[in-house]
Structure 1
Amino acid sequence: MGIYTKKGDKGKTSLYDGTRVEKYSLRVETYGTVDELNTQISVAQKFCKDPKNIELLDTIQNNLFIVAGELANEDAANFYKNSKSIGADDTKLLENVIDEYTAKLPVIHEFILPGRSVAGAHLHLSRSVCRRAERLIDHLHEEVTIRPDVLKYVNRLSDFLYILARDEDYVDHLEGLVDKVLDIYKKEVN
């Protein structure tokens, strides 16, 4: 079976429930941006050094498939016949990580440049795409009902991505310090 159907050649696409809509509709723009976010998180994950962060991002990517699926359906109840839903536990996981990482990382009192490491830079880019997705979800919510759990989850997700970026930057910084100490040691031994 080919990957192209030719059904979208005239500027329309199908939602999860089969409803045909314009490709530029707010709903399509919204779940498309969630897909973009998921893809950007995948790129960021490939540069992460902390195994816990890599695992957390797997969870986030799976949850974003669910968010996009709900947004791509005019009848969320129909979608949930075949899928789990994003709920308070998913948001609580984000909050727990945010609290844990905030407690362990150095305190900052100023704005920071986005990403001192490659992973941190990609996570900050993910955060900014997440904020755009959140704005689009809020806009869509003015037209259709979006479950409060989805709104909360995406709002918290941008904070989560920020703190993960800081953590990856910190891990990278510590590795750089170890490398410098080893270089000094090697020079003194020789």
Structure 2
Amino acid sequence: MVVLNKIYTKTGDAGETALGDGQRVAKHAPRVIAYGTADELNATLGLARQHAEGEMDARLARIQNDLFDLGADLCCPDMERDHEAEYPRLRVAEAQVARLEAEIDEMNGALEPLRSFILPGGSALAAHLHLCRTVARRAERYAVELATMEHVNPAAVRYLNRLSDWFFVAGRIANDNGRADVLWVPGANR
């Protein structure tokens, strides 16, 4: 359980922060950038939810919770020592990836195939979901880069990869099941 009685601690004033295992690292360390970008994605998703309702809002709420799981996963290096931790480490599970895949397939089933790239926009929700998609791609790039230097849970990387696809398809759903998608017209302004 998390208890936050005091919000500022002054322990980061010298440019360092603590990882989930207590290790102190620079605030610009690749691991901090990776989980910080996942946090940024979560905040962006909070904005999108202001325009969502019903099942879409419920799905977005689940993803927000998953993103905290992802941040907890990324902030704890050295998975090989998870069994030594005082409390079980929270790791993204393959079931979370599978849920995204099932939802993508279900949403995509309601859509006509694309015959053009689409421009980010349309409804307010779709525009926000496209922003979420691009931040998810950036978070994925940082996690993949981190994985070239340190161990990263492969399910966490797969989750981010599927999540950006999920946001793309959900953006189309938010645009009247794709009927209000804004299509790219190559060379239209030459």
RMSD: 2.0
How many angstroms apart in 1 are the aligned matches of 2:43 and 2:31? 18
Structure 2: gaps (5+ residues)? 181-190
The one-letter amino acid of 1:56's match is: R
Query: Match for residue 129 of structure 2?
Result: 123
1:127–1:161 Cα contact (<8 Å) kept:
yes
Instruction: Quote how far apart the aligned CAs of 1:92 are.
Output: 1.2
Query: Match for residue 162 of structure 1?
Result: 168
Instruction: Report the structure, 1 or 2, having the larger helix content.
Output: 1
Query: Match for residue 52 of structure 2?
Result: 48
Structure ID, larger Rg: 1
Residues 13-58 of structure 1, C-alpha deviations (whole Å, 9 max, x = no match): 1111111111111111110000001111111111114x11111111
Query: Match for residue 13 of structure 2?
Result: 9
69, 74, 82: which one aligns with 2:72: 69
TM-score by length of 1: 0.84
TM-score by length of 2: 0.84
Over 3 Å counting, the alpha-carbon distance change for 1:85 and 1:108 in structure 2 is same
How many angstroms apart in 2 are the aligned matches of 1:80 and 1:144? 22
Single out whichever of 73-82 and 84-93 deviates more from structure 2. Answer: 73-82
Structure 1: gaps (5+ residues)? 175-190
Number of residue pairs aligned between Structure 1 and Structure 2: 173
Instruction: Quote how far apart the aligned CAs of 1:2 are.
Output: 2.9
The one-letter amino acid of 1:47's match is: H
Is 1:110 paired with 2:113?
A: no
How many percent identity over aligned positions? Answer: 38
How many angstroms apart in 2 are the aligned matches of 1:82 and 1:97? 28
2:73–2:89 Cα contact (<8 Å) kept:
no
Query: Match for residue 57 of structure 1?
Result: 60
2:121–2:127 Cα contact (<8 Å) kept:
yes
